[in-house]
Structure 1
């Protein structure tokens, strides 16, 4: 503590200006008292200053301890108020380590608040990023390598969260850069646990980025990152970290299976999920257990499309039922409804193999239970998904019993899904449901109001084609063009035969722009067979010889794939149609 210079100067001037007589005892006594008082004052001021600084330092340490404890308890708003109060009295030049720590913790607070206040998520995440970036200016890799890596990891997490709000690709790219910079310090040799944590974070970002571009490449990177995390998260020392990484690894393999190596990658996904379940038991981690059982069910459902359909669907159903034993409607309504929805889909798929009616009824029951929770008001997107699935189950049931009644229910469910799945907000889902609606109207036309329902079917397919363009969704485009061709072909039986057959042929030919012999041989053969039938019908209306000749060429193209050895049934049917056309040409 320094004595104010002005006060000291005045005291010294006063002493110097006093005329002192050594022979005057009173004067000497006064001078002695003044000197003693001055010395005592100086000592008291120094002691008081030191005590003040000590009290402030102790208070600051206490405040930081309280803030740290509040942050650990997720009371981030209270914690950030303390951190910011202390920051006002901390200089980054005089106390760089403390300043860097405070800015990092301030960032963590705002990152946490972004979860609590969804409305202000972007604002709080931007504040978090700003705080982390300020911290990094102090916590350089040279001066504070460990702290630098921790803050870089935090910065990556904030960028990743912000990518869900806007500029997804841009912020995911920034997140990757931040995590990679953290890994310069967090090496497996020096800091294996931190290395594993950052690798797991990096894998999650790669997984998200795979949905935007270079799907296969980024999924492979995600798999590698999760595998690295699993290597250094030992089951004994870090069981929960190991389970998290294994669950993420399973999800990455499941996504990669949709791109390449379907069976191989699904089997790897299943193995990873089962590893995670070694840690996530229903007794100790009920919520995580349910989530992984749900993921395991989806992996088995996907595997059922490749091999052992009945056995793998049974395994999927078993996994979903295990999840439902843990999830209760009261405690975890959203998760409970998700498991029910997935269970319904598993029953729907199993119906394609065995006990069709029973499994479809089970599927419908599961979807309807899910919709008690997945309401339009609370979970609009989930509501639309389950309504779409419910429509498909009713459509399947209509093939067995109550055709008109169940088709009407299917149409109602699809229309409910379309209240949420609009072309502006959810274009792909809108197109998917419109295609399903078109198929329902096409089937309903077999029962009643043929012309009216076929016209509705055509309308639904044309709506779907507004989204499924040749350039953006070639496979979806081809599928719906084939469906549209069938709708026009059937409509030609009721009215405007020549015009509707011409539209049918045009739709089939558009489908063949995608379904080529080399890439999609089975689809190519199917369309060529349909095209042959359409030309044969058109020959009865006009240009008999020319259209019969086109029918012959179409059937011959179909037979390039439908050989007697590989597809005897299809070969027999197409060959019979071809023989009939050739007979008509004679």
Structure 2
């Protein structure tokens, strides 16, 4: 698609913005800002459309630079003009600063619809606008807003269709925008339909479109979604698990815990799960367990009992289980830590809330206590686990607990015989 300019419609005398505009790819609010026209902004506009941060920021785009750095107040201080583009950018930063209807009129076609998109996004409008006469990246942004509305209404299939239509509207020069939209469509489809080859193909294409850009968070999210899709598809395909690992690692290379804590923590937890699931065939494979333990400790810096109770409990359990079986010269210390981790989960998981889940924790804790030789404590934990398993009808788990109790009885008898 050839680059084009839009005739000035506002009568302000300011140069019209060149197309395409860098909309929708960078995080909000910066991802909604328009780049004003002019020779001084042209090189930066091209960089931003390509998903790259400009090597040199012109003074006219100081607000954009500050917005991308997260300094909204600083960005607003640089948006002092009265032309429609500056007023629109100010509206993005401060949604109470303008009347969307007046702004839509003053922006004219094809930009006017953006005022309605922002109004919907910030809650000043109940529904997103139709693209209308808009085309290219502007139409894509309006369709993406409509996809978000479809998700809010519980219609993921429609959301996917709208996002795929938006991908088709994105200009060739705005490949990163298409990548972001395609990754979003794939994530919704995965959650609605489950993992599958088509979702994998969509995410791989999205990553190709995003490759080489400065959209680190978007790329990390796409890598994480692809890793999870491969991971969840790996039942009878262990090769898919091996393919997932590099994508977890890629996500962790792209973002820090400060920039994208949820992505960072989820990548650590699932990388650990993948490593702990892989068979141990060689002595060098034991390194994976050590990496898994380190990843789970990292995730627990983000997942706390107060902020992420479900994720915290899962990471605690996985860490405890890994410590029990991790090869180490400090095995006793690992077992003691595992017992404490199990106890913390038990304190947060009352019997009535999830009796079988509590039983599994008790069984694992009892096993760790038995390895430590703390047989009386182990028997108490295992007896409660057996009762809960019996009450829940889990025959196999009851049998497993009985086997551990029988082993404790034999060990106790041997100690008495020797003593």
Both proteins in one fold, TM over 0.5: yes
- Tell me, in whole angstroms, the C-alpha distance in 1 between the residues paired with 2:292 and 2:139: 44
* Residues 241 and 375 of structure 1: CA distance in aligned 2, closer, same or farther (over 3 Å): closer
Alignment gaps of 5+ in structure 2 = 1-10, 19-34, 45-53, 410-419
Structure 2 match to 1:189: none
Give 3-state SS (helix, strand or coil) of 1:344's partner. helix
2:270 to 407, 419, 436: 436
* 1:475 Cα offset (Å): 6.7
Q: Tell me the TM-score normalized by structure 2.
A: 0.66
* Residues 490 and 292 of structure 1: CA distance in aligned 2, closer, same or farther (over 3 Å): farther
* 1:501 Cα offset (Å): 4.1
- Higher relative helix content: 1
Give 3-state SS (helix, strand or coil) of 2:289's partner. helix
Structure 2 match to 1:288: 138
* Residues 71 and 381 of structure 1: CA distance in aligned 2, closer, same or farther (over 3 Å): same
1:549 to 351, 362, 380: 380
Are 2:64 and 1:121 aligned? no
Of the two structures, which has the highest relative contact order with CA contacts closer than 8 Å and spacing of 6 or more?
2
Answer whether contact 1:230 1:246 (CA < 8 A) is retained. yes
Structure 2 match to 1:72: 15
- Tell me, in whole angstroms, the C-alpha distance in 2 between the residues paired with 1:333 and 1:464: 32
Structure 1 match to 2:368: 538
* Residues 239 and 503 of structure 1: CA distance in aligned 2, closer, same or farther (over 3 Å): same
- Tell me, in whole angstroms, the C-alpha distance in 1 between the residues paired with 2:297 and 2:217: 24
Answer whether contact 2:66 2:75 (CA < 8 A) is retained. yes
Give 3-state SS (helix, strand or coil) of 2:210's partner. coil
Correspondence list, 1:50-199, <5 A: 71-73=14-16, 113=40, 117=44, 118-121=54-57, 123-124=59-60, 158=63, 161=64, 163-164=66-67, 168=71, 170-171=73-74
Structure 1 match to 2:4: none
- Tell me, in whole angstroms, the C-alpha distance in 1 between the residues paired with 2:362 and 2:225: 34
Answer whether contact 1:395 1:410 (CA < 8 A) is retained. yes
- Tell me, in whole angstroms, the C-alpha distance in 2 between the residues paired with 1:491 and 1:285: 57
Q: Tell me the TM-score normalized by structure 1.
A: 0.49
Are 2:190 and 1:340 aligned? no
* 1:334 Cα offset (Å): 1.6
Answer whether contact 1:122 1:165 (CA < 8 A) is retained. no
* 1:363 Cα offset (Å): 1.1
- Tell me, in whole angstroms, the C-alpha distance in 1 between the residues paired with 2:282 and 2:182: 34
- Tell me, in whole angstroms, the C-alpha distance in 1 between the residues paired with 2:330 and 2:340: 15
* Residues 344 and 579 of structure 1: CA distance in aligned 2, closer, same or farther (over 3 Å): closer
- Tell me, in whole angstroms, the C-alpha distance in 1 between the residues paired with 2:310 and 2:37: 44
CA RMSD of aligned residues (A): 5.1
* Residues 296 and 112 of structure 1: CA distance in aligned 2, closer, same or farther (over 3 Å): farther
* Residues 347 and 109 of structure 1: CA distance in aligned 2, closer, same or farther (over 3 Å): closer
Larger Rg: 1
* 1:487 Cα offset (Å): 2.7
Answer whether contact 1:512 1:527 (CA < 8 A) is retained. no
Structure 2 match to 1:101: none
Answer whether contact 2:245 2:274 (CA < 8 A) is retained. yes
Structure 2 match to 1:413: 247
- Tell me, in whole angstroms, the C-alpha distance in 1 between the residues paired with 2:350 and 2:114: 44
* Residues 406 and 323 of structure 1: CA distance in aligned 2, closer, same or farther (over 3 Å): same
* Residues 119 and 491 of structure 1: CA distance in aligned 2, closer, same or farther (over 3 Å): closer
* 1:499 Cα offset (Å): 5.0
Are 2:292 and 1:457 aligned? yes
Answer whether contact 2:217 2:260 (CA < 8 A) is retained. no
* 1:440 Cα offset (Å): 1.1
Give 3-state SS (helix, strand or coil) of 1:296's partner. helix
Answer whether contact 1:114 1:120 (CA < 8 A) is retained. no
* Residues 570 and 123 of structure 1: CA distance in aligned 2, closer, same or farther (over 3 Å): farther
* Residues 543 and 314 of structure 1: CA distance in aligned 2, closer, same or farther (over 3 Å): same
Are 2:180 and 1:350 aligned? no
Correspondence list, 1:136-535, <5 A: 158=63, 161=64, 163-164=66-67, 168=71, 170-171=73-74, 204-205=92-93, 225=96, 229-230=99-100, 243-253=113-123, 272-273=127-128, 276-277=129-130, 280-281=131-132, 284-301=134-151, 304=154, 312-327=155-170, 330-352=172-194, 359-376=195-212, 380-399=216-235, 401-403=236-238, 405-422=239-256, 429-445=263-279, 451-466=286-301, 468=303, 477-489=312-324, 491=326, 499-511=333-345, 515=348, 528-535=358-365
Structure 2 match to 1:42: none
* 1:491 Cα offset (Å): 4.4
